[in-house]
Amino acid sequence: MSRLLLVRHGNTKGNSAERLWGHTDIELSALGIKQAEQLRDRLEAEKIDAIYTSELRRASATAEIIASRHQAQVTICPELKEINFGQVEGLTFQEISQRYPELARAWPTRDLTFQFPGGESIGDLNNRVTKFLSRLEKHAPEETILIVAHSGILRLLICHLLGIELEHWRQLRTDLASLSILETYPQGAILNLLNDVSHLS
């Protein structure tokens, strides 16, 4: 059994709770740093054998803060980057609705070919998730692995591990600085915790 700790990065200077930051490399805000420290304290007692993170600073900084209480090395994984939102990077959904009404109407689609103008499709994002999964196969069953990434990546990763149809990825929620935990077995994975933010209270 491998134990997977899935963490979404903390809040950013550009208020990532409201705005779509994909490939834009923005830093953690003061609140985001505090959230990462709360995650560090929450996970201090865990035996973490490996740490993987997106190369974007909001994720890698979160990972480094958590790693400060552990011996595991932090490995940067380009495939864990958030989706490239293209022309709508940094906008709120309300702003997108005003500037790109057709895009806003198409947004709820479950079609993996849906693509952001000038950016990536959901399928592109999923291809990177699939590539990352091959890294996990190299770990021993008894290891605990921390993955610090972004909402889109984490939701697709959970779908893959649980055998859920990818079209349902939007029905999962991963808030900023949240923790989700899965245990993986040869027969499949078990979701023990989803989107827990109790450490932030």
| Active centre residues (catalytic) | 9, 82
Please give the single-letter amino acid code of residue 105: R
10 phi-psi bin (left φ>0, alpha ψ -120 to 50, beta other): beta
Identify any residues that bridge with 51 across adjacent strands, giving them in sequence order: 74, 146
**Contact assessment for residue 85 and residue 121, using Cβ atoms and an 8 Å cutoff:** no
Residue matched to tokens 């595991």: 72
Which helix (H) or strand (E) segment is 180 a member of? Answer: strand 179-185
Pairwise CA distance, residues 176 & 10, whole Å? 5
Q: How far is CA 38 from CA 41, 44, 48, in A?
A: 5, 10, 17
